[in-house]
Amino acid sequence: MSIDMKKILLYIGIASALLQVGCTKDFNAINTDPKATSADLLDPNYLITSGQMAFSSQGYNLFLFSSMWAQTLASTSSLQSNYLSNPDKYVASGSTPDYQGRIWNTDYGATDQYYTGAGNLVAEAIKLTSADATKANVTAVSTIMKLMIMQQVTDVYGDVPYSQAFQGKEGITLPVYDKQQDIYNSFFTELTAAIAMLDASKTVATGDMYYKGDVAKWKKFGYSLMLRMAMRLTKIDATTAQKWAEAAAAGGTFASNADNAVLAVQNSNGHDNAQNRVYGVDIYQTKWSRTLINYLRKNNDPRLTVCAEISTDAETNGNAVAGIVDSSKQIGMPNGFDLNGSTTDISNLLTNPTYPGATTGSPIGKYSRPRYTVYANTNAPIFVLTYAETELMLAEAAARGWNVGSTAAVHYANGVMAAQTELASLGTDLTISSATATAFAAAHPLDISSTTASLKQINEQYWATTGLAFNYIESYLNWKRSDYPVLTPVVYSGNFSNGTIPRRQPYPPSEATLNTVNYNTAVGRLSGGDTWTSRIWWDAQ
């Protein structure tokens, strides 16, 4: 761990203590809050650090739904991992009401006075710096972070508090739920202003863990985020999507994997890769899906040679070791099965005739899982937004006839090559050479026979790329937008989505009682009410 990182984490602790303990000399003074601190004692850079960590490393918040709704992963959801019935089978477990509110609480902040969410942290940094021109880069970085955090919230839930969010100190404790269309319009306006505010001649954001305050990289990040926001709107408002996709391309999106937004973590200090941690906890119940492995095999994709493994007979529950990586032996597990001995049991050859058999340690041991040495490594970095994603989005924009700097085929090839080579950043066991990636892209060019063919190929590649990077919430959200790949819903007894893949997460149950009027107004705008199957604004049917 670097000395700078130790200092940052130390100061985060000091800042947290200040927020809770206060700085007055006389704790008995009337009207003095012993938990308060003053702005001049708090460096806003540490709020950026904490906000980035809270947002990027969410673990079960993401794993419990989107990881298997998009069918990049699968689980029999039995034994100690019965809660994985939520993502794999759309079947509630005892804590589902808690799970459905976790992204909300992490991105906004939980209701207790000592926990502050990712969005609230960076919003506070904006308040502390917006009046000081010398801290323009801190304000800009914090604003871009806030917009990315809030995009996740609205993409998951729909209409949410935005214009009145993060204003508890100003007395707004019951914020209105803004319409998602209005939120997205605000995103583009605020993001444009934040990018323009970035200035290499001014003090950098020293608390930034993505780019260490590099202004040039933050500009590229801002435009790449703008592109992702624009592409979300292709189904509902193609005109606005085109306007902002072209603006992003003109401004300058990521140019190589060197621009990837990546969060480095330190498990030894409790700041780990939570996505990998929860996979390690549920490794015996979590496999790559049949849909994903079949996709990789059909395309002779080099990632199949490094990303998947089968456990060995020497492995016992609670003692995972590196498995068999031979690509010819990999087999993905179908979604929707269990270990309950009925017709839905994974070993029932009548309902699952391709069952490969058990290993000594597990009845599903011969199904492929994410490679243990990398995907269960809690010190591995976390991808936030990548060049591969950006190039694939530009490929789609170009396929739609928009002016984004190059052809769809060129952007697609760039995205495919980047998707292959970026994985080495997660762990050397996932290394694919540039020569191999280049040859694969050349052998699998974009199908430009029709727009539909291009969109299908691009978005299937995007789905696999984000899934293999463990950015499964992006796999799900882009599937929801593009409808690619075509997925077969799991129909399992007692499911909460009428046998369809869920389209959103319901609001946290506490909102109905804590912010009743505004909650009811928002629910009234959902065609199906506050359910798993209602569609948010940009997910038009």
Q: What's the per-residue H, E or C state across 304-342?
A: HHCCEEECCCCCECCECCCCECCHHHCCCECCCCECCCC
User: What's the DSSP call for residue 175?
Assistant: -
Tell me how far apart the alpha carbons of residues 356 and 371 are, in angstroms, rounded to a whole number. 19
β-pairing verdict for 287-288 and 73-74: antiparallel
pLDDT at site 132: 95
Contact 370, 304 (CB under 8 A): no
Q: Is 182 helix (H, G, I), strand (E, B) or coil?
A: helix
CA distances from 332 to 339, 340, 365, 485 (A): 17, 20, 11, 16
CA torsion 450→455→461→465, rounded to 10°?
A: 160
CA distances from 109 to 35, 131, 196, 373, 527 (A): 17, 25, 29, 33, 28
Contact 260, 374 (CB under 8 A): no
pLDDT at site 498: 96
- Taking alpha carbons only, the member of 347, 518, 522, 485 closest to residue 69 is 485
Structure tokens at 7: 């200092």
- Taking alpha carbons only, the member of 331, 377, 335, 379 closest to residue 356 is 331
Contact 67, 274 (CB under 8 A): no
Structure tokens at 111: 């209701």
Query: String of b and e for 429-444 (b: at least 16 CB within 10 Å)?
Result: bbebeeeebeebbeeb
* Burial of residue 296 (number of CB atoms within 10 Å: 0-12, 13-18, 19+): buried
Tell me how far apart the alpha carbons of residues 297 and 308 are, in angstroms, rounded to a whole number. 12
pLDDT at site 372: 94
Structure tokens at 149: 């955090």
Three-state SS sequence of 450-512: CHHHHHHHHHHHHHHHHHHCCCHHHHHHHHHHHCCCCCCCCCCCCCCCCCCCCCCCCCCCCHH
User: What's the DSSP call for residue 176?
Assistant: -
Tell me how far apart the alpha carbons of residues 384 and 395 are, in angstroms, rounded to a whole number. 20
pLDDT at site 411: 98
Residue 261 backbone dihedrals phi, psi, to 5 degrees: -85, 115
Beta bridge partners of 261: 385
Tell me how far apart the alpha carbons of residues 216 and 167 are, in angstroms, rounded to a whole number. 31
Q: CB under 8 Å to 237, separation ≥6 — which residues?
A: 181, 538
Q: What is the mean pLDDT of each run of 10 residues along the chain (541 residues)?
A: 42 40 36 57 91 95 95 89 93 93 92 69 96 97 98 98 94 96 98 98 96 98 98 98 98 98 90 94 94 98 98 78 93 96 94 93 93 96 98 98 98 98 98 98 98 98 98 98 98 96 97 97 96 97 84
Q: CB under 8 Å to 371, separation ≥6 — which residues?
A: 306, 307, 308, 309, 322, 323, 325, 427, 429, 430
